[in-house]
Chain A
Amino acid sequence: RKEVEQDPGPFNVPEGATVAFNCTYSNSASQSFFWYRQDCRKEPKLLMSVYSSGNEDGRFTAQLNRASQYISLLIRDSKLSDSATYLCVPRTGNQFYFGTGTSLTVIP
């Protein structure tokens, strides 16, 4: 079983739309969780950490459900610059586990 499963998409949405990405992880010992963003052929960059109570950063909202081992990311009012691949990343000890990512294209 994969450590992290994400819907690969692609998600093609118009500007201004709301889009949600989901992710499940297999290791119940995972201690912390992150969403990374990766632009084409570039390095992954941290978008936001995910806290148990859920957290928001501007247009982005992350949720964690430890019981279901499920993480989500909601993007509101999508911008063209949001086009990227979004990676769900649980951390267990020193190990970060990367999913294959979900591709988002925001269309004018």
Chain B
Amino acid sequence: NAGVTQTPKFQVLKTGQSMTLQCAQDMNHEYMSWYRQDPGMGLRLIHYSVGAGITDQGEVPNGYNVSRSTTEDFPLRLLSAAPSQTSVYFCASSRQGAGTDTQYFGPGTRLTVL
């Protein structure tokens, strides 16, 4: 049981490049989400999904796309990277509707956009 995994751990992009951050979980959790964390700021929700085929926007969705074709995977796509997207990205999962259950995080992807 690996929990939540993310790849890559580190990435450097040039402005305008696109890439996909991978996230997978093996806990059969319905709910998955992507956050970004910038220095001195809390976690901000980018996109989330309540199940395969269902996604929705969070607080800061601009510049990012997501899809959820399976329960296990929830990739985050940067369409045209900008320096403002330099951040640490965390993927998380939890059971849906189980109010007392917590959220589990992947180890993060540290992205730098030059």
Contact = CB atoms under 8 A, between A and B. Distances in A.
**Do the two chains bind?**
yes
B107 A43 contact: yes
Nearest to B48: A94
Given A94-B48, A94-B50, A46 B42 contact: no
Contacts of B75: none
A95 interface: yes
B98 to A, nearest CB: 9
A1 interface: no
Interface in A32-53: 32, 34, 41-46, 49
Nearest to A43: B105
A93 B30 CA distance: 13
Contact of B43 (A42, A45, A49, A98): A98
A43 B42 contact: no
A31 interface: yes
Contacts of B45: 95
Interface string A64-106: 0000000000000000000000010101011110111100000
A44 B96 contact: no
Interface string B34-60: 010000111101001010000000000
Given A45-B105, A49-B102, A100 B88 contact: no
A46 B100 CA distance: 12
